[in-house]
Amino acid sequence: MTELEIAIRDLVIANRILANENVTDGYGHISIRHPHSPNRYLLSCSRSPEFVDTADILEHELNGTVVDARGREPYVERFIHGAIYEARSDIQAVVHSHANEVLPFSVTATPLRPVIITASVMGAHVPVWDSRDEFSDSNMLVSNMAMGRSLAARLGSDRVILMRGHGFAATGRALKELVKLSVYIPQNAKVLEKALRWGEVKGLSDKEIEKRLAAKETPDLRRVWEYWARRAGCGELLGG
């Protein structure tokens, strides 16, 4: 397989995993930067992630223009992806999720922060983007580059951003790393919400987070990728 074919295959697997692990449902999407053209990215057409296949993957310009739609409708909120890639050359994958678990932290003053090891690479700071601040009472969808760039600016150098009453966007240095983070962001939110009811919370320290961020892809990441892929029923895509 070519590098591009492998990237598309892995993106299909990522869609299936996130759907099976309840990070996405009929809504939500994940993309990767094009392996040969850094000013483009790969993202499915507008389809529920559970059913995404290789034929659904479309090439996009950073401004959201689809290179060859082949009669397919793109996601309305594709601008989340393009604007983040435009702003952050270090980012190779982007996900958008409507996971309910994070929503309390998007509508209150209580910050979302990592308290479990598997969510450590979300970083110590998770900002909240409120579309109303710049775009008044909109439909809250990131449906153009102006909104996408506003969100990317609020994200800054952080890894994860909450969207008020909407969900979250997360970024990764690699696709598999981002899939792992995306699975554990909602779980981290559940643990934190429960711990806050019980009393004082001891989260991960800045040094612990820094050391986790410094780690490269490890055998455990490859192991859990296979585990999730087979759970999602797409183990045959893994190849040998």
Residues annotated as part of the active site: 77
Residue with tokens 């455990």: 220
Strand ranges of the sheet holding 167-172, from the earlier edge strand across to the other edge = 57-61, 40-44, 29-33, 93-97, 167-172, 160-163, 128-129
Q: Which tokens go with 171?
A: 């970024």
User: Using CA atoms, how far apart are residues 36 and 76, in angstroms rounded to an integer?
Assistant: 25
DSSP string, 44-105: EBS--GGG--GGGEEEEETTS-BS--TTPPBPGGGHHHHHHHHH-TT--EEEEE--GGGHHH
SS3 category, 30: strand
Two tokens at 203? 């989260």
User: Which residues make Cβ contacts (< 8 Å) with residue 117, sequence separation at least 6?
Assistant: 204, 212
- Both tokens assigned to 118: 């598997």
Quick check: helix, strand or coil at residue 29? strand
Partner residues linked to 57 by β-bridges = 44
